[in-house]
Amino acid sequence: GQQLNQSPQSMFIQEGEDVSMNCTSSSIFNTWLWYKQDPGEGPVLLIALYKAGELTSNGRLTAQFGITRKDSFLNISASIPSDVGIYFCAGHSGNTGKLIFGQGTTLQVKP
Protein backbone atom coordinates (compact mmCIF):
# COMPACT_ATOMS: atom_id res chain seq x y z
CA GLY A 1 0.00 0.00 0.00
CA GLN A 2 0.92 3.65 -0.08
CA GLN A 3 3.50 4.73 2.45
CA LEU A 4 5.11 8.02 3.32
CA ASN A 5 8.67 8.24 4.57
CA GLN A 6 9.11 11.26 6.79
CA SER A 7 12.45 12.50 8.07
CA PRO A 8 14.00 13.26 10.36
CA GLN A 9 12.22 11.25 13.03
CA SER A 10 13.10 13.83 15.68
CA MET A 11 14.92 17.12 16.03
CA PHE A 12 16.25 19.02 19.01
CA ILE A 13 17.17 22.59 18.14
CA GLN A 14 17.94 25.93 19.72
CA GLU A 15 15.34 28.68 19.74
CA GLY A 16 15.84 30.93 16.72
CA GLU A 17 17.17 28.21 14.44
CA ASP A 18 15.50 27.22 11.20
CA VAL A 19 14.02 23.75 10.79
CA SER A 20 13.53 21.61 7.73
CA MET A 21 11.72 18.29 7.40
CA ASN A 22 10.61 16.32 4.39
CA CYS A 23 8.41 13.55 3.20
CA THR A 24 8.80 11.16 0.27
CA SER A 25 6.57 8.58 -1.29
CA SER A 26 6.78 5.87 -3.90
CA SER A 27 3.35 6.95 -5.10
CA ILE A 28 2.10 10.13 -6.67
CA PHE A 29 -0.18 12.35 -4.64
CA ASN A 30 -2.47 15.10 -5.85
CA THR A 31 -2.44 16.90 -2.53
CA TRP A 32 0.20 17.23 0.16
CA LEU A 33 -0.67 18.49 3.61
CA TRP A 34 1.25 19.27 6.77
CA TYR A 35 -0.26 18.90 10.23
CA LYS A 36 1.02 19.67 13.71
CA GLN A 37 0.03 17.77 16.83
CA ASP A 38 0.44 19.22 20.31
CA PRO A 39 0.56 16.88 23.32
CA GLY A 40 -2.88 15.58 24.22
CA GLU A 41 -4.51 17.12 21.17
CA GLY A 42 -5.49 16.07 17.69
CA PRO A 43 -3.46 17.09 14.63
CA VAL A 44 -4.15 20.55 13.24
CA LEU A 45 -3.76 21.46 9.58
CA LEU A 46 -0.92 23.89 8.91
CA ILE A 47 -0.57 24.03 5.14
CA ALA A 48 -2.23 22.35 2.15
CA LEU A 49 -0.57 22.09 -1.27
CA TYR A 50 -2.55 21.29 -4.39
CA LYS A 51 -0.23 21.77 -7.33
CA ALA A 52 3.13 20.27 -8.25
CA GLY A 53 5.86 22.83 -7.67
CA GLU A 54 3.64 24.96 -5.46
CA LEU A 55 5.40 26.86 -2.70
CA THR A 56 3.13 28.10 0.08
CA SER A 57 3.82 30.07 3.24
CA ASN A 58 1.88 30.45 6.46
CA GLY A 59 3.70 32.86 8.73
CA ARG A 60 7.08 31.34 9.58
CA LEU A 61 6.13 28.10 7.85
CA THR A 62 6.90 27.36 4.22
CA ALA A 63 6.02 24.17 2.40
CA GLN A 64 6.56 22.94 -1.14
CA PHE A 65 4.87 20.34 -3.29
CA GLY A 66 7.61 18.48 -5.18
CA ILE A 67 7.67 18.58 -8.97
CA THR A 68 7.54 14.80 -9.16
CA ARG A 69 4.46 14.85 -6.88
CA LYS A 70 6.20 12.25 -4.73
CA ASP A 71 7.68 14.53 -2.11
CA SER A 72 7.16 17.62 -0.01
CA PHE A 73 9.12 19.60 2.52
CA LEU A 74 8.25 21.91 5.41
CA ASN A 75 10.51 24.67 6.69
CA ILE A 76 10.06 26.58 9.92
CA SER A 77 12.07 29.76 10.24
CA ALA A 78 13.26 31.33 13.48
CA SER A 79 11.84 28.60 15.71
CA ILE A 80 10.19 29.49 19.02
CA PRO A 81 9.32 27.29 22.02
CA SER A 82 5.66 26.94 20.97
CA ASP A 83 6.79 25.21 17.77
CA VAL A 84 7.35 22.10 19.89
CA GLY A 85 5.21 19.20 18.81
CA ILE A 86 4.91 16.44 16.25
CA TYR A 87 4.71 17.42 12.60
CA PHE A 88 3.02 15.07 10.14
CA CYS A 89 3.02 15.11 6.40
CA ALA A 90 0.02 13.61 4.66
CA GLY A 91 -0.78 12.73 1.09
CA HIS A 92 -4.03 12.41 -0.74
CA SER A 93 -4.34 10.75 -4.13
CA GLY A 94 -7.70 12.20 -5.06
CA ASN A 95 -9.20 8.87 -6.09
CA THR A 96 -10.51 8.11 -2.65
CA GLY A 97 -11.12 9.92 0.60
CA LYS A 98 -8.05 8.33 2.15
CA LEU A 99 -5.38 10.55 3.65
CA ILE A 100 -2.09 8.75 4.26
CA PHE A 101 0.09 10.09 7.09
CA GLY A 102 3.83 9.98 7.56
CA GLN A 103 5.31 8.73 10.82
CA GLY A 104 5.86 12.24 12.13
CA THR A 105 8.80 14.44 13.09
CA THR A 106 9.07 15.29 16.77
CA LEU A 107 10.44 18.78 17.26
CA GLN A 108 11.88 20.04 20.50
CA VAL A 109 13.05 23.63 20.88
CA LYS A 110 15.44 24.69 23.59
CA PRO A 111 14.86 28.25 24.83
Partner 1 sequence: DAGVIQSPRHEVTEMGQEVTLRCKPISGHDYLFWYRQTMMRGLELLIYFNNNVPIDDSGMPEDRFSAKMPNASFSTLKIQPSEPRDSAVYFCASSLTPGELFFGEGSRLTVL
- How far, in Å, CA of 55 to CA of 35, rounded? 16
Q: Which is nearer to partner 1, 52 or 100 (CB)?
A: 100
Element (H, E) at 9: none
- The 10 Å Cβ neighbour count of residue 22 is 19
- Smallest gap from residue 17 Cβ to partner 1 (A): 26
41 sits near partner 1 (criterion: CB under 8 A): yes
From candidates 19, 43, 105, 109, binder to partner 1 by CB under 8 A? 43
Q: Which of residues 15-34 bind partner 1 (CB under 8 A)?
A: 31, 33
Element (H, E) at 108: strand 105-110
Q: Which is nearer to partner 1, 85 or 102 (CB)?
A: 102
From candidates 14, 26, 40, 111, binder to partner 1 by CB under 8 A? 40
42, with CB counted inside 10 A (0-12, 13-18, 19+), is exposed
Q: Which of residues 63-102 bind partner 1 (CB under 8 A)?
A: 88, 90, 92, 94, 96-102
- How far, in Å, CA of 90 to CA of 104, rounded? 10
Binding site for partner 1 (CB under 8 A): 31, 33, 35, 40-45, 48, 88, 90, 92, 94, 96-104
